[in-house]
Copies of this chain bind each other. A is one copy, B any other.
Amino acid sequence: MKVSTTIAEVRSQVKEWKRQGLSVGLVPTMGYLHEGHQSLIARAARENDRVVVSVFVNPIQFGPSEDLESYPRDFERDCTLCEKTGADLVFHPEASEMYAENFCTYVDMDRLTKGLCGASRPVHFRGVCTVVSKLFHIVTPDRAYFGQKDAQQLAVIKRMVRDLSMDVEIVGCPIIREPDGLAKSSRNTYLSPQERRAAVVLSQALAEGRKALAEGERSAQAITGIIRGVLESEPLAQPEYVELVDWETLEPVETADRPVLAAIAVRIGTTRLIDNFVFEEGPECN
């Protein structure tokens, strides 16, 4: 497995692979990899001849009061995990390699990004779209893998690819959870032992919401009420949002009469956690 820190080196390696007719999968990450990322890399390795993992804590997707500085990093461990999971190239650039002096071009969206996490993180998805665009231009992957855990991000990237006619297949992958149900996240490391125990309330609350849907409840107000009720039973949990939205447009729905995303963001102490599920009639997609 190769580690590259420059755009030029990645581009040259990928061009060599493409000349050989090999397909390329990309897994964009911010590092501090866990089993969630690992499942993306493993799937990319199954579906492509070569796999590139980017490990880059992207400064422009953090707001001024967010956790850019404290975001956990362990590049050596990341490399070990990438190698054993089947990655061929890890792209690990400095911020100055990605954002040259006087950088001023952004990819942004005037829908899909205003609600849910976008409401409290106004520059977040602009930063995500911009860095993912750059990674697509650098790696020119046939397929790119994103976790369903960041459901809004997945919907936004799919829309960006459609709108900007990018020639890449976006593959959404299921949420990987701890044994007690907590969705895997690099930010789980921020939790104290007591907070870690409390954090299970996110998946528990969503399970109740999903149960109501499965039993035929279709009112968004009823379903979000059920989810909110469970969250409020945990004193350490402060819900930021609890929403039921159209899974394609991310617009709030009143009735779950099409594929819907139930998404929540909750503060446990100072740590902001998110979780979600997608529900559609027939076989469920998550």
Contact = CB atoms under 8 A, between A and B. Distances in A.
Interface string A163-179: 11111000000000000
A166 B100 CA distance: 14
Contact of A164 (B11, B133, B249): B133
Interface string A7-22: 1000100000000000
Nearest to A160: B105
A181 B167 CA distance: 43
Given A130-B164, A165-B138, A104 B109 contact: yes
Interface string A76-87: 000000000000
B110 A129 contact: no
Interface in A144-160: 159-160
Contacts of A163: 100, 103-105
A107 B107 contact: yes
A106 interface: yes
A105 B108 contact: yes
A56 to B, nearest CB: 13
Residue among A102, A164, A166 with the most chain B CB within 10 A? A164
Nearest to A15: B167
A112 interface: yes
A258 interface: no
B112 A104 contact: yes
B159 A104 contact: yes
A103 B159 CA distance: 8
A163 B100 CA distance: 7
A140 B138 CA distance: 13
A11 B162 CA distance: 14
A137 interface: yes
Given A11-B167, A137-B167, A167-B137, A104 B100 contact: no
